Chains A and B, each alone.
Chain A
C-alpha cells in the first residue's frame, strides 16, 4: 500500500487537473478579447504585425521591380504612392514613376562603381508569367494587417490581370469585410463586376455605395482623395449615360472636374451631354393612315 501511495496521489492530481480543465475551458475563452479565429501570426506578433505587413507590401513592390528599388537612403526617390503598381505603360502615373526610379545616378567613387556589378541596376517591371510574383507578398501583407486597404486593391488588380476573377472577387470581399467603410475596395469591386462579369446593375449599386462612402469620409477633409472621387464618378457617369439618365451623368461629371487632371476634356463631355439633353426627343413615327 505504501508503494502505491505516490502513484495514487499522482492519479488523483491528474484527475483533478483534467476535471478543472473541463470547467475552466469555457471561461478562459471569455478572459481575453482574442477570438478562436485569430491566426497564429496575430497571436505571435500582436499589433507589431502591422510593421511586418508594410515590409511585405514594400517587398511586393520590390518584386514588381525585379529587385531594382531605392533604399532608405534614397528616400527622396522612393515611390510616393502605389499608383505605379496598377498603372499601364504610357499612363501619366507610369511616366512619373519612370522619372522617380532613376535614383542611382553616376557612381561617386571606385567602390560604388565596382559595387554596381553585384546589384540590379536596370528598371524593369514584371511581365508575362512572372506577373504573379507579387501575389504571395500581398497575401502575407493582408494576413498581417487586414486594415491595409491598398493591399486588397493592388492584389485585385493583378489577379484580374491574370484572369483570376473569382480569386479577385473573393479577396476584395474579404477586404470589404475587414474594411466596410472603404470606398477604394468598393471602386475595385465595381470595376470587377462591370468589366469582367458585365453585371451593370451590381456595378452601379456598388459604385453608388462607394460614392456615398467617399462623401461621408472625404468631403469634409482638408485634402480629400479627389483622384478616387474622379474614378468613382467617371465610372458611374458612364453607366448613367448608357441608361439614358443624362442629367445625373452631367451632375456626376461636374463632380469629377474637381479631381480630374484634364478638366477641359470633361467639360467637353458635359457640353455634349447638355446638348443631347436639350435636343427635342425624337418624335414618334407618324401613324399609317
Chain B
C-alpha cells in the first residue's frame, strides 16, 4: 500500500507542477466571471445561465485534466526509461498501475474541489442560496465518473502507442457515451436484426457515464439524487474501474518495456 501511495504522490505533485490545471482554472474563472458580470435587460435575478456555463466549463476542464494527465503517465515513464529503476525497487507492475491510477484519480479530485469551490462561491453569491449538500453530491458523482475515465485511459496507455492517439480516442468514446449512451436503446429498437441485438448489447456493455452528469439538477435547483442511488452508482463505477484496471494489468504484465 505504501508503494502505491508513494507512486500516487508523485503523480499528484506532477499535477501542481505542470501548468495545465492553472490554465484551465483561470480560463473557467475568467469566462464565468465575464458572463456573470453581463447585465441582460438590467436584470439581476438571472443566475441559471451563469451556473450552466460554469458547470459546462468545469466538466470540460475536469475531462481534459483527467485524460491529459493519465494518458502520459506510463508512456512518459517508458520514454524516459524511469520505468526500469521504478520496477527494480522492487515494485510490481500491478503496484505501478494502481499507483498511477490512484495518483491521477486523487489529482482529479483535488482539481474538482478547487473548481466546485469556485462554482459554489459564484453561484451562492448570485443566488443567495447555498445548497452545499447538493454541490457535494454532484462533486462526488463527478469524481466517481472521472475514476472510470482514468482507468479507461490507463488501459489505453498500454494498448495504444502514442499518448495523443489514446487521448483522442478516449475523448471520442467518453463524449459519445455522455451524449448518446442514454439513447442507445432507443436507437437499437429502430434497427433491424441482427444490428438491433448488437446495439442493445453495446448499450448494456458500456459504462453509463451520463448518469453521473447531474448538472441539470444543480442548475434548476431540483432535489438531488438519493443516497441509495448514489451508492449504487458508485458501486457500478467501481466495478468498471476494476474491469479496466485488470485489463490494463493483463496487457502490461507481459508487455516489453523497451521502446
Interface of B is mostly: helix
Q: Report chain B residues within 8 Å CB of A115.
A: 182, 208, 210-211
Nearest chain A CB to B154 CB, angstrom units: 25
Check B212 against A117 for contact (C-beta < 8 Å): no
Which residues from 3 to 41 on chain B have a C-beta closer than 8 Å to any C-beta of chain A?
Answer: 38, 40-41
Q: What bracket does the count of chain A residues touching chain B fall in?
A: 20 to 34
A59 to B212, CA, bound (A): 21
Q: Report chain B residues within 8 Å CB of A136.
A: 38, 40, 46, 49
Q: Which of A104-112, A181-189, A193-201 contacts B (4 or more CB under 8 A)?
A: A104-112
Q: Which of A44-52, A127-135, A218-226 contacts B (4 or more CB under 8 A)?
A: A127-135
Check A135 against B43 for contact (C-beta < 8 Å): yes
Check A129 against B222 for contact (C-beta < 8 Å): no
A157 to B226, CA, bound (A): 38
What 0/1 readout, one digit per residue, does chain B (197-221) give for beta carbons within 8 Å of chain A? 0000001100010111110110110
A152 within 8 A of B: no
Q: Report chain B residues within 8 Å CB of A118.
A: 141, 210-214, 217, 225, 229, 233
B187 within 8 A of A: yes
Q: Which chain A residue lies CB-closest to B232?
A: A114
Between A and B, how many residue pairs show CB distances below 8 Å? 84
Q: Answer whether A135 and B41 are a contact pair too, CB < 8 Å, given A108-B185, A114-B232, A118-B225.
A: yes
Check B46 against A114 for contact (C-beta < 8 Å): no
Q: Which chain A residue lies CB-closest to B47?
A: A133
A111 to B52, CA, bound (A): 26
Q: Report chain A residues within 8 Å CB of B211.
A: 114-115, 118
A266 to B41, CA, bound (A): 38
A176 within 8 A of B: no
A164 within 8 A of B: yes
A67 within 8 A of B: yes
A63 within 8 A of B: yes
A139 to B210, CA, bound (A): 30
Q: Answer whether A73 and B186 are a contact pair too, CB < 8 Å, given A67-B222, A115-B211, A118-B214.
A: yes
Q: Answer whether A111 and B185 are a contact pair too, CB < 8 Å, given A67-B220, A120-B216, A120-B222.
A: yes
Q: Which chain A residue lies CB-closest to B228?
A: A117
What 0/1 readout, one digit per residue, does chain B (168-190) give for beta carbons within 8 Å of chain A? 00000000000000110111010
Check A133 against B213 for contact (C-beta < 8 Å): no
A132 to B189, CA, bound (A): 40
Q: Which chain A residue lies CB-closest to B188?
A: A108
A66 to B220, CA, bound (A): 6
A to B CB contacts below 8 Å, 8 in the list: A63-B49, A114-B229, A118-B213, A118-B217, A120-B217, A129-B45, A132-B43, A136-B46
Interface residues of A (CB under 8 A from B): 59, 63, 66-67, 71, 73, 108-109, 111-112, 114-115, 117-120, 129-130, 132-133, 135-137, 139, 155, 159, 162, 164, 167, 171
- 11 other contacts beyond A71-B183, A139-B40, A164-B42, with CB at 8 A cut-off? A59-B52, A66-B222, A112-B185, A114-B232, A119-B217, A129-B45, A130-B48, A132-B46, A133-B47, A135-B46, A139-B41
